[in-house]
Structure 1
Amino acid sequence: MIFHRLTLLSSFINRSSNFLIHSHQCRSFKLTPNRQFSLTSIRPRRGDRPQLLANNATNTPKVKLTFSDLGKLFRLAQNEKGRIGCAIILLFISSSVTMSVPYILGKIIDMLQTYKHEELRRRLKQTTLLLIGVFGIGAIANFGRIYLILTTSQRIIKRVREQLFNGILRKEMAFFDKQKTGELVNRLSSDTEVMSNAVTQNISDGLRALTQSVAGVGLMLYISPQLALVGLTTVPPVAVGAILFGRFIKRLSRKVQDALAKATDVAEERFSNIRTVKSFSKEEQEIQLYNQRISNVLQLKYKESLAYGLFYGMTGLSGNIIVLSVFYFGGVSMSEESLTIGDLSSFLLYAFYVSLYNYCN
């Protein structure tokens, strides 16, 4: 859905002005024996009656994002490549600090069991001072990454809005006859922000999740390959389930947006022609029509909520099974003295970090 809107926005900037006016019909009213009335407008989406309004969303052509569109998308950030590059470097620094925490904590736990009294206090003091410095570097890197990403996003939004407003304002009048004012304003306000986030915030979050997932899995394999294999056994089925769930939610979300668009069209048309509605005493009929459209949205939302509940319930169950399996096999390894309690603690923390960052992103 986001890619669909991005492509539409790109087409507003680059589309030529060759719009043809086939007919300009005045708004007319026709009284029928059943006291029905119809509206005819020069705007195609405001047609005769609710039947045409209901088809607005479904008649919108499906637009697929091509590699050319992706190229245009990334060219928007070309002037900001220096700031984005610095943000990526800071991202790797902050991620490295974050992923070193479980390993260090595991070593501290082993230190508590190995050393006693003065030697333990001396080593704890050294380790604590070292960690304060490392955490300080991580905090500065994280601050710089977030600041650069957010400010870069706003700079791109400003540039795109300027280009888009300039492109729209220079269109022929036929363009404004065919397009709704609200739709143009929506492209200028919200869609530009979506486009900017696609090349800044989303890339940053994706790289952070990828970096920390790869580092986490690698360190899990380093600590204990056997436990890592146990923990990763549920990854393939969960991954397949996530892909299927994502496709289902994408289709369902499109249906929700289409249904909501139908309800919005009904409200917009009735508010625009409120004098006509009241002249023919059609308030109750229009209220029932709008309520029906909103009820359709609610039914689709019920399906969406059910899908989310089932998916997250199953993933939560699989995560708990993994934790129990790791505890069991980790306890067996500790009894055989092939694994320390610090290593097991580090492994569990890495497993938690990997699952947390993948869940959040």
Structure 2
Amino acid sequence: MSLNKDTPSCTIAVTAQSDVAKPIGSTLGQRAVLPWIGGFLRPYKARVIAAIIFLFIGSLAWLSLGQGVRLMVDEGFLQGNGNRLTEIIFLMIAITAISSSAIFCRFYLMTWLGERVSADIRLKVYDHLLTLSPGFYAKLRTGEVISRFTADSTLLQSVVGSSLSMALRSSVTVVGGIVMMAVTSLKMTGFVLLAVPLVLGPILFFGRKVRDLSRQSQDRMGDLGAYVDESLHEIHTVQAYTHEARDRILFNHRVEAVMDAAKGRITYRSTLIATVMFLSILAITLVTWVGARDVIAGTITSGELSAFMFYAVMVAGSVATISEVIGEIQRAAGATERLIELVDTPVDIPTVAAPAKLPTNVRGQLALKNVRFAYQNTKNEGGKDDLTQEVIRGITADIQAGERVALVGESGAGKSTIFELLLRFYTLKSGVIELDGIDIAQLNPQNLRRQYALVPQESVIFAMSVLENVRYGRLDASEEEVIIACKAAKAHGFISAFTDGYNTYLGERGVRLSGGQKQRIAIARAILADRPILLLDEATSALDAISEREVKQALDRLMEGKTTLIIAHRLATVLNADRILVLDKGQVVASGHHQELMLSSDLYRKFAHLQLIM
């Protein structure tokens, strides 16, 4: 198997850590996290309001227990009134029941909102990812995208459904507790408030640090996921070259990078929790000492001091809870920023506001006029995209409707790139490509791509059934039409041999099929699509001699009346072409029939002897 230089290079499993792609966050601005999440909560504002109401009910019910403690001490214990004590106990039980019911409703609603928001974010991110061109995925590894798509949204789900709810509940408890403390004793409340800045200071300082370090930790996790996806996807190559030991070392480096990023976050978060706990307990202890002296002096009653201490403990516990969950919230903020960056990634294939319309019956006439193109995946010394390395250098060609044109040339000559430009996966540096006289840049990309049926050299098989794989070419096709297409592609025989026939699950990337079987499924898909232009990237390269002859017959029928471009590596392919374009270093250097080129083109003659005829 040869490397195809026509497409941008991809990172392989042996990539050193220093070659890790930079996250797109380094080039995109940040947006406010809370307004962004609020946009996803807005459609469910009724549930949000209900959750907030139940949150207040639950918190206020717990706060009212402090007054129950005061009454129990002053009117029960100290007065020796057993009946009054019983009444107060039943009152406290009723308040607890109300609070528990409110907690159930609040927990259910917040957890549901967490799941729903996470699902909506995944839908929005995936919808946007489908609009980004292959050029985006050539720069950012798929594994990192998957990490952002899954791990980051899962973390956000946990925070919205749990941590945020705890933080809100604790905040209400802190405010309500301070109010009730003030009602009980302004003097002692004043002492408590003196400690508030001492507690809030570490929360603000360490919380910001935790957020920044959480973002770094998530980036390292994305790098780790990308490497796992990469090495396991290419496990055949890894094991064939006994590269396991080296991959273990490289994987270990990435695991340690995750650990190093986590150490700082853990340190700051642990310091935050310990500092807040110490300051809170210290404040309670000092205030208790002041309160005990006031009870001795007769300034306040024992019940009031008990109620005050009840509220103080609740406030301290709530502050401790806030300090604990603030780390999770800051982690979620970092993860959300990464998701926002994906959603904010601009679509790199621009579309016009009022796209041109193709005729009802597209003829399939193509014209390339002085087309120039360079992949934007190389960097110059300044770190900016270097567009000087042109892959296509001023190609001009007219392809008539129904014509069969073969593209030949050495690897890296630009053959596959032409296919990608015709499909408008990339934007031209200069020049124009026309379909039936219309500049394809003026067309809606999806409408344009509906005119092409693509059969790549490396056939793409999805993890679904045979029927669904073939129907990928035309979703509204009936099962009978799928079978007819498979018969034309000479695939019906081996499909029928499967236990479940056309309902057979083919496994991830078609692991259950041979190379030739994959190609025939891909050809059947193109036959079923029945589009006016065919792009065949040596569609029979993985077939044996007998199957190749049969499939060629099917392709000949398929190509009738259709404009066909074929990337050719075999003599039989070019002999059947109406015209041959010889490419060299991104330029068309010769054009004509096989016999003409054998006489007029030294490059074609050399190529024919070395590759086509062999």
TM range (shorter): 0.7 to 0.9
Q: Provide the aligned length of Structure 1 versus Structure 2.
A: 321
Distance 1:327 1:188 in 2: 50
Q: Does 1:56 align with 2:22?
A: yes
Whether the aligned pair in 2 keeps the contact of 1:259 and 1:293 (CA below 8 Å) is yes
Quote the Cα distance in structure 2 between the aligned partners of 1:326 and 1:137. 31
How far the C-alpha of 1:158 sits from its partner, in A, is 4.5
- Counterpart residue number, 2:285: 324
Aligned-pair identity (%): 22
Query: Which residue of the partner structure matches residue 51 of structure 2?
Result: 87
Q: CA separation of 1:327/1:126 partners in 2, compared to 1, >3 Å: closer, same or farther?
A: same
Corresponding residue of 1:339: 300
Classify the secondary structure of the residue corresponding to 2:194. coil
Contact 1:256 1:301 in 2 (8 A): yes
Q: Give distance in 2, aligned partners of 1:63 and 1:201.
A: 28
Partners of 1:73 and 1:341 lie apart in 2 by 47
Alignment of 1:10-89 (within 5 A): 26=3, 42=8, 49-50=15-16, 53-57=19-23, 60-61=26-27, 63-66=29-32, 70-89=34-53
Question: Out of 66, 70, 95, which is 1:134 matched to?
Answer: 95
Partner of 1:233, secondary structure, is helix
Residue 186 (structure 1) shift: 4.7
CA RMSD between the two structures: 3.5
Give the Cα–Cα distance (whole angstroms) in 2 for the partners of residues 58 and 356 of structure 1: 40
Report matched runs for 1:138-287 at 5 Å.
138-162=99-123, 164-169=125-130, 180-183=141-144, 185-186=146-147, 189-193=150-154, 204-287=165-248
Residues 43 and 178 in structure 1, CA contact (< 8 A), matched pair in contact too: no
1:104 aligned onto 2:68: yes
Deviation at 1:70, TM superposition (A): 4.9
Say whether the 8 Å CA contact 1:45–1:52 is kept in structure 2. Answer: no
C-alpha spacing 1:52/1:224, structure 2 compared with 1 (3 Å): same
CA apart distance, 1:214? 0.8
* Distance (whole Å) between structure 2 residues aligned to residue 55 and residue 166 of structure 1: 23
Equivalent of 2:85, from 115, 124, 148? 124
Contact 1:74-1:199 at 8 Å conserved across structures: no
Structure 2 letter corresponding to 1:295: E
Q: Which runs of 5+ in 2 are unaligned?
A: 323-614
| Deviation digits for residues 119-163 of structure 1 (CA, Å, limit 9, x no counterpart) | x12212222232333222222222222222333443444455455
Q: 1:354 to 1:62 in 2, by over 3 A?
A: farther
- Per-residue displacement from partner, 1:226-268 (whole Å, max 9, x unpaired)? 2122223322122212222112222333333334444444444
Q: What whole-Å deviation, never above 9, does each CA across 1:274-305 have from its counterpart, x for those lacking one?
A: 44444555443333333233334334444444
| Residue ranges of structure 1 left out of the alignment (5+ in a row) | 1-24, 29-39
Partner of residue 307 from structure 1, selected from 250, 265, 268 = 268
Bigger proportion of residues as helix: 1
Q: Which residue identity is paired with 2:280?
A: G
Cα distance in 2 for partners of 1:181, 1:357 equals 41
Give how far 1:195 is off. Answer: 5.3
On the 8 A contact 1:73/1:199 being kept in 2, the answer is: no
The residue identity in structure 2 corresponding to 1:122 is N
Q: TM-score, normalised by structure 1?
A: 0.74
Relative to structure 1, is the Cα distance of residues 47 and 242 closer, same or farther in structure 2, using a 3 angstrom cutoff? same
Q: What is the CA distance between 1:221 and its match in structure 2?
A: 1.6
Task: Point out the more displaced range, 246-255 or 213-222.
Answer: 246-255
Higher deviation after alignment, 286-295 or 45-54: 45-54
Residue 209 of structure 2: SS of its match in structure 1?
helix
Query: What is the TM-score normalised by the length of structure 2?
Result: 0.46
TM-superposed deviation, 1:188: 5.0
Which residue in 1 is equivalent to 2:424? none
1:109–1:70 distance in 2 versus 1, CA, 3 Å: closer
CA distance in 1 between partners of 2:264 and 2:164 (Å): 30
Q: Which amino acid aligns with 1:61?
A: T
Q: Please give the per-residue CA displacement for 1:81-116, whole angstroms capped at 9, x wherever unaligned.
A: 222222222221111101111221122112234323
Deviation at 1:45, TM superposition (A): 5.4
> Residues 80 and 346 from structure 1, CA distance in 2 versus in 1: closer, same or farther, beyond 3 angstroms?
same
The 2-side partners of 1:197 and 1:42 are apart by 38
Query: Using CA pairs below 8 Å that are at least 6 residues apart, which structure has the higher relative contact order?
Result: 1
Which structure is larger by alpha-carbon Rg, 1 or 2? 2
Rounded to whole Å, the distance in 1 between the matches of 2:35 and 2:285 is 46
Contact 2:276 2:320 in 1 (8 A): no
Instruction: Rate the CA distance shift 1:41–1:246 in 2: closer, same or farther, 3 A.
Output: farther
Separation in 2 of the partners of 1:299 and 1:158?
31
Alpha-carbon separation, structure 2, partners of 1:204 and 1:71:
17
Distance 2:121 2:208 in 1: 30
**Counterpart secondary structure, 1:134:** helix
Q: 3-state DSSP class of the match of 1:234?
A: helix
Q: Is the 8 A contact 1:46 1:53 kept in 2?
A: no
Corresponding residue of 2:311: 350
CA distance in 2, matches of 1:70, 1:221: 32
Letter in 2 for 1:49: T
Which structure has greater strand proportion? 2
